[in-house]
Amino acid sequence: MATSAQNEAETKLIYLCSKENKEVANILTDVREILDDPSVRVDATDKDGMTGLMHAAFGGNVKLCKLLIEKGADVNSNLHSQGYTALMFATISGSAPVVQLLLEKGASVTATNNVNRTAAQMGGFVGQRECVNIINGYFPIERLKYYTQPQGGGLETSPKLDPVLLEPLHSLITNNVIHPVKFVLLIKDKDLHRHQHQVCSVLRILIDKSFHEDNEPFSLKLHLIWCTVKECNTTGTDELLKKLLQQTEDCKSLEVEKYLRLCIKSYPHVHSVLFKQLVQVVADTSLGDQPTTLTQVIAAIQGNRGFIDQESCSTCGTTSKNVKKCSKCKKVWYCNVECQRLSWTLGNHKKLCKIWSGQNQEKSK
């Protein structure tokens, strides 16, 4: 039976972790001090069944969440009256860093609440697209690490994947920006295309596994990555970037459209429902028309994005509130200086910028 002192300490713990708590400056110190008492339960709940971790996740306090987990908090506790988990609270509040942390610590993405909704489904309902993408694109590094060790009970003398490629390939797989240029930049950064045989061999296994695990969107994403690794090795990263970064005078990226259509055609699981739907909508849309092939691919993998109040980088497709317009033509957006440089040096923006800037001057007369 809990003592009065224990109840008081647990009540204070939950108060410190709650989103409403604004006035305590040294929350981490106070929480650590409370949890140093072995009689205090780190997963103690309030009247609604919320644990301290659930409160901290809802408040987006990643440091506090990390501390609670270190102290033994259950990331999959579902004692909440409506069956919510910490991951659900982090997702609906839009805290991407907390979502990432919880996933890394083993939070279940398939757990459902009392109305049979997962964290990703709840996040999608309230428009927390970034968090939903993190969940849907999450792939535990342990699953990839399996291929860095010889398998088959001694039949394999060497692993399918060199351990040095583990983290670079994992970063490529878990990247949430669905755009061929982004894939190329990540591949180029770690020279993954120079290890095409190993990388593509493992990707092919994962493509098939994901499909048979009923994760068709992830299987399709992996296929696009597989295609891009092969193309980088065949064509060269800079040559491929040069091709993909060409735009038309009406600001269309037709080379990206063509490239994605070729990738879709080579997807191996032609009986996939998702694949059939994607092929149909792409076939019904002329090249460059709306919705673009890129838009449809993103929707197939990450779901329809609805209203987006942020612009996307014209080079790599990164969506962010920090993207900036080209100061001269005001036509395109860049997420960083490197993407702007690539657009000017490998792409054809230098030429188009003059045309668009001239059009702007004509309009202002």
Can you tell me which residue has the tokens 């240029």? 181
Helices 166-174 and 180-189, axial angle in degrees (round to 10): 170
Distance of CA 255 to the CA centre of its chain: 24
The string of pLDDT tens digits covering residues 86-103 is 999 999 999 999 999 999
What is the pLDDT at residue 114?
A: 95
> For 325, phi and psi rounded to 5 degrees?
-70, 150
Sketch out the chain's domains with CATH numbers.
4-136 (1.25.40.20), 139-302 (no CATH), 307-365 (no CATH)
Q: Which residues contact 345 (CB under 8 A, 6 or more apart)?
A: none
**Rounded mean pLDDT of 135-142?**
88
Residue 234 scores a pLDDT above 90: yes
Distance between CA 14 and CA 1 in Å, rounded? 19
Confidence of residue 117 (pLDDT cuts 50, 70, 90): very high
pLDDT at 345 over 50: yes
Per-residue confidence (pLDDT) for residue 89, from 0 to 100 = 97
Which candidate, 84, 98, 92, 96, places its Cα nearest to that of 131?
A: 96
CA distance 47 to 43: 13
pLDDT of 80: 96
User: With 50 as the cut, is the pLDDT of residue 1 above it?
Assistant: no
**Model confidence over 59-89: pLDDT tens digits?**
999 999 999 999 999 999 999 999 999 999 9
As a whole number, the mean pLDDT across the chain is 91
**Three-state secondary-structure class, residue 185:** helix
pLDDT of residue 244: 98
Selected residue with higher pLDDT from 114 and 213: 114
- pLDDT of the residue at 365: 53
